[in-house]
Amino acid sequence: MSEIPASFVRYSDQIEVKQPDEDQKIQQVVDSMSLVNKLMFEKYRHGIRDAHAKSHGILRGELVVYPDLATPYAQGMFQTPKTYPVIIRLSTAPGAIMPDG
């Protein structure tokens, strides 16, 4: 295994500290997404996603966690060599359904 860089911070529940305004910021994001959802519903007259509304493709594959993964990255689900099935959806970023051109 490789040496852990001095700047690397291993994940720990003790590292994450809730910020004083975190709940307010989360609510602002929820409100913003809700507004975009309502605007897109009014435009298309049916419910669509608030972002990434138009799919361009779906991929099926595997995520392989190799046994020789560098030490700093071998934590959580990447700690043990394993193969996971994955499905990936390719889409556009905006909530509006835009032309492909």
pLDDT tens for the 101 residues of the chain, in order: 556 677 777 777 888 888 999 999 999 999 998 888 888 888 888 777 766 767 778 999 999 999 999 888 888 899 999 999 999 988 777 666 777 77
pLDDT (0 to 100) of residue 60 = 97
Single-letter residue type at 6 = A
Identify whether the C-beta of residue 31 lies closer than 8 Å to the C-beta of residue 60: no
Identify whether the C-beta of residue 57 lies closer than 8 Å to the C-beta of residue 16: no
Q: What is the pTM of this model?
A: 0.51
Single-letter residue type at 80 = T
- Cα gap 11→59, rounded to integer Å: 30
- Cα gap 14→81, rounded to integer Å: 26
Q: Tell me which residue has tokens 């001095």.
A: 6
Going from N- to C-terminal start, the domains of the chain cover 19-50, 51-101
